[in-house]
Structure 1
């Protein structure tokens, strides 16, 4: 039987999902930088810790907006085309998140952390088709693969350990955010 959670427990679990996806986003970015592009290592984040909050927010947004849709069926003849619809929705949603994030970072810091001007299909160096399609693939992995596994893991972790893990990671995240603002 599934655990029933109150508002605080939902927030704690949601933050843990946010943190996992933020950390996975950081790993993805560092992998691209070190292995794919061979530029060498640099902390890809706005914050000190090994996480990129834009990935966490994007993942939670994907889950909130598209998970119900991903569980439905839309058939054209005998073929379920809902995964294609969900993929396109993930691409659109994550592209908007990336665009908004670039403007927020520019407004708060004077610039943003990526530059797509070298890509053939891009807009203002802020968004590009290549990255949007990769985010689409990532969103599908989240919806259909990672999130179900994370939910099982959170259940197995138990309420007490979730609370401890939340407390430690939340304090570290808040300290990181505050120290960034004070720099």
Structure 2
């Protein structure tokens, strides 16, 4: 079952509300008082909605393979929870939840108990609740539903902005509400209003960790060299290097295994495999703090994360472009032709080789660049790659239209037909398969 955008937005709000009810109920049972556990002030927990939409987009084809649906839902939702926790701590310099006291937890962001629960919920959503909710959505005219969604989205955006401003106004000093309010009066007239103070009081009550002083080790230090640590410029540099090396590695691998020299690029300009580039950046960001762990630990993380990542990329490209760029159906132990066990192990091996061997060397070389030159190179490459991705997406879309017999109707279509004819597109993407 494929969901429409209209249905996905409704599912986002429905599950955000259900998540808020569950969080508020759990907090009420634990503290014997009502606590609004959402980041926003309304009765919504957006992280639940985001997880539900991700499951609805990427996993519906696993409806009849319950074990894989459970595992996929467990991985995707756990990743969203981990990513959200780290990003919010990065943005607001505070930890919003902490599972450090739970068994089998990871940095307090995620724990096995919750991950198993998310897997069970994913199965329930795909098999039972989503069809039920989608039927319910059809009970009222779509134009009314769209108006309701626009109103809800507008209110949510305003709520997000107000909550974010309130949290950013919380200073390190003091964990008590009186100290926070006193500090706010000194620092910002914008935040000197009763509504914002109420939001801040609710935030500290719901998430006690945000009122705690951040340790010295966590303080952001001014970079002494270019791309020090694992920041934006380091990850951007790794993205470009990984995209180039990934394309070369895949090309050589195909040449050795099939005897054919074929393009493995994701874009129309240059030998760049975006799948590998994004993987290098994201996996480095996730595994950076665990780089001193054992090879076995890195291998297992790489196997699961790499397999989930490749599966998501496969679904996304098929939904976005109506094309399949790889198909593992003929390889044993595959899942819908999107991933297979052998290549998942390759991801694990690649993670070990990358984090233990390649990354440390690359990191040292990157940090040797002059700060201004390094930033300029990254910005130029980002602009180039952004244009490259847009042109590639347009060329792929026009290729799909040509296969359906649609004539060029705009100047852009004529340009694409002239510069990216079928022969060129099939040379760049030799394994392309149309699904629409």
With the shorter chain as reference, the TM-score category is 0.7 to 0.9
* Cα shift readout 1:123-166 (whole Å, capped 9, x = no counterpart): 11111001111111111121111110111011112212212211
TM-fit CA distance, 1:97: 0.8
User: In structure 1, what is the Cα distance between the partners aligned to 2:85 and 2:153?
Assistant: 24
Residue from 42, 46, 57 that aligns with 1:53: 46
Contact residue 56 and residue 126 of structure 2 kept, 8 A? yes
5+ residue gaps in structure 2? 167-436
User: In structure 2, what is the Cα distance between the partners aligned to 1:163 and 1:90?
Assistant: 28
TM-fit CA distance, 1:107: 0.9
State the match for 2:74 in structure 1. Answer: 91
Contact residue 95 and residue 132 of structure 1 kept, 8 A? yes
Contact residue 89 and residue 96 of structure 2 kept, 8 A? no
Residue from 15, 21, 41 that aligns with 1:21: 15
State the match for 1:62 in structure 2. Answer: 55
5+ residue gaps in structure 1? 73-81
* Cα shift readout 1:74-123 (whole Å, capped 9, x = no counterpart): xxxxxxxx111110111111111111011111011112321111111111
Contact residue 13 and residue 162 of structure 1 kept, 8 A? no
Contact residue 69 and residue 86 of structure 1 kept, 8 A? yes
Equivalent position SS for 2:150: helix
Q: TM-score, normalised by structure 1?
A: 0.82
Equivalent position SS for 1:157: coil
Contact residue 73 and residue 119 of structure 2 kept, 8 A? yes
User: In structure 2, what is the Cα distance between the partners aligned to 1:149 and 1:112?
Assistant: 36
User: In structure 1, what is the Cα distance between the partners aligned to 2:22 and 2:163?
Assistant: 22
In our comparison, the structure showing a higher alpha carbon Rg is: 2
Name the count of aligned residue pairs.
164
Asked if 1:120 is matched to 2:103, the reply is yes
User: In structure 2, what is the Cα distance between the partners aligned to 1:158 and 1:32?
Assistant: 35
Higher relative CO (Cα under 8 Å, sequence separation at least 6) belongs to 1
TM-fit CA distance, 1:179: 1.7
Taking the TM superposition and a 5 Å limit, the aligned residue runs for 1:107-146 are 107-146=90-129
Residue from 146, 150, 154 that aligns with 2:137: 154
Q: TM-score, normalised by structure 2?
A: 0.36
User: In structure 2, what is the Cα distance between the partners aligned to 1:169 and 1:143?
Assistant: 24
